[in-house]
Amino acid sequence: MATMQLVWTLTGPGEAVPARAPDEARLVAAARKGDRDAFTELVQRNQRRVFRLAGRFFQQRADVEDTAQETFLRAWSRLDTYRERAPFEHWLTRICLNCCYTRLRREKGTLPLPANEPAVHGDPDAALEVRGLLSRLRPSDRFLLLLLEGEGWSVEEVAGRLGWSQVNVRVRAHRARKRLRRLLEEGGGP
């Protein structure tokens, strides 16, 4: 497939998100045949989710935009791998998560935590302590804990979206929480 430059606009807060049309399969089929307008429609339908998800892992708008762009470009070039067993957005979310994870690993352990994290039980000091502890974890641990705790995804959702087994997700989450607990016992803080 030819390289494609994607252009889209972000919708502002409070703007209505268009309802999912039942013609997703038609759009995917058309995009697979090279119809850029069909793929642009798929991008527009899913851009908010991709930007929000990438925004959980990167603070800088440029990093979020680059990750989203990479997500959509990978999706365009790999449309033939989408098997339609799950909704298109799940497949796209998996690509986005893989792009985030790859970018984090490439940056050697720097996972900026969202600056606007709510205070833990109304205690801003506790929120700072949690941020400090998370910043000391390996990127893979932070990545998984942000999905499970920050995004509120279930083990099944994480497994399905990342292509891991549920056992793998549970084991990794257990080990990440254990490392976090050990850091807390050692005195916490950054």
pLDDT tens digits for range 71-125: 999 999 999 999 887 789 889 988 998 898 888 777 654 444 444 444 444 555 6
CATH architecture observed for domain 113-190: Orthogonal Bundle (1.10)
Domain boundaries, the chain: 21-112, 113-190
Answer whether 21-112 and 113-190 agree in fold: no
Nearest to 72 by CA among 102, 93, 101: 93
| CATH of span 21-112 | 1.10.1740.10
pLDDT of residue 99: 92
Give one word for 56, left, alpha or beta, with left for phi > 0 and alpha for psi -120 to 50: alpha
CA distance 57 to 103: 10
Write the CB contacts of 110 (distance below 8 Å, at least 6 apart in sequence): 104, 139
Q: How many residues does the chain have?
A: 190
CA distance 46 to 40: 10
Q: In tens digits, what is the pLDDT along the chain, a chain of 190 residues?
A: 444 444 443 443 333 334 444 588 899 999 999 999 999 999 999 999 999 988 888 878 999 999 999 999 999 999 999 988 778 988 998 899 889 888 877 765 444 444 444 444 455 566 567 667 777 888 788 888 888 887 788 999 888 888 889 999 999 999 999 998 888 888 755 4
Nearest to 44 by CA among 17, 13, 84, 70: 17
